[in-house]
Structure formats: C-alpha cells, structure tokens
Amino acid sequence: MSRKNIRDVAAKAGVAVKTVSRVLNGHPYVSEALKAKVEQAMAELDYRPSVAARILSGAKSNQVALIYDNHSPYYMFQIQKGCWDFCQENGIRLLAQPVDVADPRVGDQVRGLVSETHVDGIILSSPVTDCDPVLRALEAMDIPFVRISPGTNHALTSSVFMDDAQAADDMTTHLINMGHRRIGFIKGHPNHMSSDDRLFGYRRALDRVGIAFEPQLVADGEFDFESGVRAGQYFLDLSPRPTAIFAANDDMAAGVLSVAHDRGIELPGQLSVAGFDNTTLARTVWPPLTTIHQPMAELARTAAEILIGGGDITHRRLPHELVERASVAPPARKP
C-alpha cells in the first residue's frame, strides 16, 4: 500500500492542497469547519505528515535535533557525522544537544528545546533513546522522532539498531577459539540498554561451550577511558588474572592497555585485549585493537533518513563486523 500524501488528504476532504497545508501549519485563518474536514480526512487515511513534507510546505524551522548523552567522544563524533551528512545533503540544519538522562529535569529540558527552536523532528541517541521522561515529553508534543539502538518499547517509534548481544557473542567466541578460557568482561554504562545486551552475549558464548560464568570476571564500566583503567587494575590484580579482557567499548579497552603498559605486561603475548565500536581510537592505540565494528555513522544516517522520510513506523537492523588487529593472540603457554 502506497503512503498517502497531502494531495490524497485534499481530495478526501474536498479542499485545496493549500488548505491542507494551512491546517498542518496551524494557520490562524482557517475556519473550524475546514479544519475539522481536513483532520477527519487525515484520520481516515491514517495520514502522518513527514518532516520533509512539513519543511517543503513552509512549516516550522527546516531543522532537526540530535539529542544525546554519551561518554565516548569517538562514538558521538561518528553519530553526529552520520546525521549531519544526510541533513546537509537534504538542505536541513542539524542541532546537536547534549543532556543528562539522570537529571530529573531532562524531560522539561527537551520540551524547552523543541518549543524554543521549533525543530521539525528529533533523533535520539543511546541512552536518551530509552529515557522515559524524554519519550513522554516528545509523545505529548506530538513531534516525529526516531531512536538509535533502543532497548525498550520497540514498537513506540521508528528505530535503527544493530544486534549488540550477537556482536558480543561473536567477540567472546573469537577469544574462546583463540584458546582463551579465563576472559574478563568490562560492562558498559548502566544507563545504556546495550550494556546489558553485550553482557548477555558474553555470557551466552561462554555457556554455549561449557565455560562456567564467574561473576568476579565481570567489572563495572562507564564507557570511558577512566573506568577502563579501574577495571584493568582490578583484573590485573587477580590471581590468576584473565588471559584476555573484552571491554564493551574501545575507550575502556584503551584504559586496559594503558594499565598493562604501565605494568610491563606484554601485549598480546601475556594479555589479549578486545574492544567494541571500532572507533578511530581502536586504530591509534598500541597494539591496535581487535574490536567489533559498529556502523555508528550508518546508524545515525539511517535514523536521519527515516525521520526526514516520514511514513509508517519502521525498524532497520544494520550488520556488525568483527575486525581483527594485533591486540589479540592465543594465550601464552605455561612453562
């Protein structure tokens, strides 16, 4: 079934296209009778004006907003670039607005952003994508929004995502296939639903080959370098210590590498380290990180494409890839 457009609404209501446009734009000089006819036609056709349609009709601001709260500058650079590239190609301005999902006023802050800027649509990046006050605020304002990698309420809005659990399973399986049996795992920030998915994938891979899950081999992290350092210190103080450490993002993996270098531990001869995301950092640390390529820019670009295109709720899953570099090797043989 083809998506209904503004001309279909006009024909259904028996009015001019310009009249429908005025109703959509909230024009003050439209009679209540005409407004009611147009709104009834829209309801009967299940018509939802896309961001592009609103922009082309002259409504609002010709701009959309990316709202985010993420501790990794490498991740956010890719997310912003993906959104910006698509918006630039389509003549739409992108506003990037950081928020703190732990702030009890975050819903009001987002509501104020929409009211003050009159953006035509919103892209939410994790963990804002699962922040209930933000979701309720946007729903109440009836503004189109698309979520990147949501972990809850999947049917609520359009979304774009990758399979975090399977990606973590793939990396853990790779380490197992290299001969590792004692594998430390650094969790991501607790506000991110992907953190739970990646831990699940790690545990699933261990269980599949009969390696018992050991809670002491899981350390808390916050998706930043500093928490990777803390986790690295914890793991390398264990006896026996892990032969491999899998961090739920590259920033934390870099923190582990730093601790290992400080302690004179040979990498990867005495310790293998793996990351997740395949940010620029993964290629610039030493040794370069074996990691999961998360298509961050592609996720963001697709979110912008879905938002601006409008239409029915849609969900798109993008593929991940395991990228092998020099930070992982078989465990050293005991003398």
pLDDT tens for each residue of 50-87: 555 554 454 557 889 999 998 788 889 999 999 999 99
Residue whose token pair is 């003549």: 91
Q: What is the mean pLDDT of residues 287-314?
A: 93
Q: What average pLDDT is seen over the chain? A: 90
Which parts of the chain are beta strand (E)?
63-68, 93-98, 122-124, 145-148, 158-161, 183-186, 218-219, 244-247, 272-274, 291-293, 315-317, 321-323
Split at pLDDT 50, 70, 90, the class of 10 is confident
Give percent above pLDDT 90 in the chain.
68
Q: 280 pLDDT exceeds 80?
A: yes
Cis peptide before 331 (omega within 30 of 0): no
124-152 as b/e, with b when 16 or more CB fall inside 10 Å? bbbbbbbbebbbebbeeeebbbbbbbbbe
Nearest to 13 by CA among 49, 40, 31, 53: 40
Say what the pLDDT of residue 334 is: 63
pLDDT on residue 248 = 97
The residue-averaged pLDDT of 144-173 equals 93
Query: Does the CA dihedral 224-226-230-235 come out positive or negative?
Result: positive
Strand partners, 159: 147, 315
Of 117, 167, 157, the C-alpha closest to 274 is 167
Which tokens in the block code for residue 289? Answer: 């990180």
Is pLDDT above 80 for 8? yes
CB 255 within 8 A of CB 225: yes
| Report field, pTM of the whole predicted structure over 0.75 | yes
Burial grade of 87 (CB within 10 A; 0-12, 13-18, 19 or more):
buried
User: Residue 1's pLDDT band (boundaries 50, 70, 90)?
Assistant: very low
- The C-alpha atoms of residue 300 and residue 318 are separated, in whole angstroms, by 11
Q: How confident is the model at residue 45 (pLDDT cuts 50, 70, 90)?
A: confident
Would you state the pLDDT for residue 54? 53
Q: How many whole angstroms separate alpha carbon 226 and alpha carbon 220? A: 11
* Cα separation of the two ends of the chain: 68
Q: Is the pLDDT of residue 118 over 60?
A: yes
For range 303-332, the mean pLDDT: 93
Residue 309: CB atoms within 10 Å: 16
| Strand partners for 153 | none
- Tokens linked to 15: 């009015």
pLDDT digit string (tens) for 209-247? Answer: 999 999 999 999 999 999 999 999 999 999 999 999 999
Q: What is the token pair recorded at 169?
A: 């399973």
Domains and CATH numbers, the chain: 6-47 (1.10.260.40), 63-162+297-320 (3.40.50.2300), 164-293 (3.40.50.2300)
- Nearest CA to 186 out of 232, 133, 254, 119 is that of 232
Closest CA to 67 of 59, 58, 76, 75: 76
Residue 141 has pLDDT above 80, yes or no: yes
